Amino acid sequence: MNDTTSAYDGGCTCRFVRYRMTSKPLFVHCCHCRWCQRETGASFALNALIEADRVHLLEGEVEVVATPSNSGKGQRISRCPRCRIAVWSNYAGAGDAVRFVRVGTLDEPDRFPPDIHIYTASKQPWVIIPPGVPAMAEYYKASEHWPRESLERRATLLTKAQRQP
């Protein structure tokens, strides 16, 4: 992996929306749930979890679309208002502070392979998970899988959230 660039740019297909992640993500989910399969029209979703304030819009704007989610609490998917490509989502659980950036919208998506596979109970059977990557039938505890640096970043987020009225 080439680590010489510390910014990670991406965008939609029509190039109206361009964004930059200013650091590496906290963690990368490969989600095999049926909901993600429907949303992508494929076999799984690949999401880079990152603090919202580390994702900057360089060009354009996003349209937020309320979308049902597996939890029942819904997710808010940010899409290009022109070509409708989804660039990131916010889930109720993590709130607005954490964005789930669609790895496939990054200019160099190969840089972020999954750190974990989740909801493998509904994994399509032809998808073979490489050995050595954690795979969970459903969800997992961040405290058991995230690297220490990411847990520290998460703790900072939680502290900030508590300070807000």
Residue count at the site for Zn ion (CB under 5 A)? 9
**56-85: which residues touch Zn ion (CB under 5 A)?**
80, 82-83
Residue number with CB closer to Zn ion (41 or 165): 41
- For residue 28, the surrounding DSSP H or E stretch is strand 27-31
Q: Where are the beta strands (DSSP E) in the chain?
A: 8-11, 18-21, 27-31, 45-51, 55-59, 63-67, 75-79, 86-91, 98-102, 116-118
**3-22: which residues touch Zn ion (CB under 5 A)?**
12, 14, 16
Q: What is the per-residue binding string for Zn ion in 81-110, x denoting contact by CB under 5 A?
A: -xx---------------------------
Q: What is the per-residue binding string for Zn ion in 28-57, x denoting contact by CB under 5 A?
A: ---x-x--x---------------------
SS3 129: coil
d(CA 153, CA 26): 8
- Binding stretches for Zn ion (CB under 5 A): 12, 14, 16, 31, 33, 36, 80, 82-83
